[in-house]
Structure 1
Amino acid sequence: METAPLEQYRAVYLTADDLRIAASIIYNAYQNDAYFLAILFSGDKVSYEQKLRAAIREELNELWQQEQPLIGWFDGDRLIGVACIITHQVPIGESRYWHWRFKMLLGTGWKSTQGLMQKETSIIEQLPSDQCGILQFIALAPSEQHKGHGGQLIEAVLSWCDEQPKLEGLGVFVSNDSHSHLFQQHGFINLTSMKIGDVDGDLLFYHGQLSE
């Protein structure tokens, strides 16, 4: 099998036209995620899938509207990976905007909306300062996994982070050991072990190169 040349791959900000495909990539990557299963699944698979799609759709739309970084990993013109970040520049956790709460409530229910906000609040409380961001989603298309793209996408995120003059770093909650190992291979440290809801995991952190 021939390997595609490195220059074929690029990391760029998503456009509005990319959001639908981005949502599909994220859904496929997170449909078996322990945390989403814990807060969205109530015994009905169809209902769970609908809630997960709604949660991803509303979060992507909110990040887009708030001009938060949505980084796409492209193979030529084809979107194959997505990383979504939320920074301290917008309300996070229990401070989320009312319109986000309302839309998320309609799509996932009140308990699930509370769970999403509580997760962010738990992460924020453990981060080194209020000048840090959270890596909300990072995902690859199923056909592009196990090809080294995960590490390249993480490196793209870290390059973006290092270029932000007012960002001290990025946190990400990980409940999968293999994912944790990958992040730590690329410069994240294990900040603390934590339990969010019924899910055990680690809060990993990347110290950005904050400009003076």
Structure 2
Amino acid sequence: MVNAEINNARAVYLTAEDLRVASSIIYNSYYDDPFFTEALGAENKLTYSKKLRSAIREELNSLWQQEQALIGLFDESRMVGVACVMTQELPVGEDRYWNWRLKMVLGTGWKSTQSIMEKESCIQDHLPNNNCGVIQFIAISPIEQSKGYGIILANAALSWGEENPSIKGIGVFVNQQDHYDLFLKVGFKPLTEVQISNIKGHLLFVNC
């Protein structure tokens, strides 16, 4: 599905020039996400916004540099959604590269960085094998939601997995009911319930 036309929407791999817009879409979609509001501290809205922007920017740059799958969904020339999928070859949690840790700490603080690493380790620990992909972000621009783009984008992530023989499945952590329902519609199955700090959620998985 990547690099293809679907219902007038194109799912394609992002270029470096697309990262700024992708970051903005993710920021707006994840602003009220329970994990980030807990991990980054949403009491001070200005500080929270800065931390969230920094965390998303650093993660996108890291995924780009490591040549992970960054998939954009376009309606003509407008990017309306983005999905970021990483393989287990990329170190996560306590194994993250020192430069990622340094930049994340400078942008979000040590406690927030620890929470992000805890989430990554928790997801990896519950995956069924060592040849899985993990959806780090999947986001549709708020003004483009409820138009079916989410299913198209989720299916594009699945197609990426199917095109990579080394990938045996894809996992995703969800903590909101609408996200849970969306992934069930495209074939994901509940794998386990997990709790990261004070946030409860589900780890969903699909075989590729």
Relative to 1, partners in 2 of residues 1:10 and 1:42: Cα closer, same or farther, differing over 3 Å?
closer
Q: Cα RMSD over matched residues?
A: 1.1
Unmatched tracts of structure 2, length 5 or more: none
Aligned pairs for 1:85-104 (under 5 A) are 85-104=85-104
CA distance in 2, matches of 1:124, 1:68: 16
In structure 2, the residue matched to 1:144 is: 144
Deviation at 1:85, TM superposition (A): 1.0
Q: Which residue of 1 aligns with 2:54?
A: 54
CA contact (8 A) 2:133 2:161 kept: no
Moved over 2 A (4+): 5-8
Cα deviation for residue 6 of structure 1 reads: 4.7
- Matches of 2:159 and 2:131 in 1, distance apart? 17
Structure 1 residue identity aligned to 2:90: V
Structure-2 residue corresponding to 1:200: 200
Alignment of 1:180-195 (within 5 A): 180-195=180-195
Counterpart in the other structure of 2:162? 162
User: Residue 160 of structure 2 aligns to which amino acid in structure 1?
Assistant: W
Partners of 1:161 and 1:78 in 2: how far apart? 25
1:28 paired residue number: 28
Q: TM-score, normalised by structure 1?
A: 0.94
Count of equivalent residues = 204
Percent identical across equivalent pairs?
54
Q: Offset of 1:8 from its aligned partner?
A: 2.5
Separation in structure 2 between the aligned mates of residue 7 and residue 113 of structure 1, nearest angstrom = 39
Q: TM-score, normalised by structure 2?
A: 0.96
> Distance in 1 between the 2:9 and 2:121 partners?
35
Query: What pairs up with 1:31-46 in 2 under 5 angstroms?
Result: 31-41=31-41, 43-46=43-46
Q: Give me the whole-angstrom Cα distance separating, in 2, the residues matched to 1:63 and 1:207.
A: 23
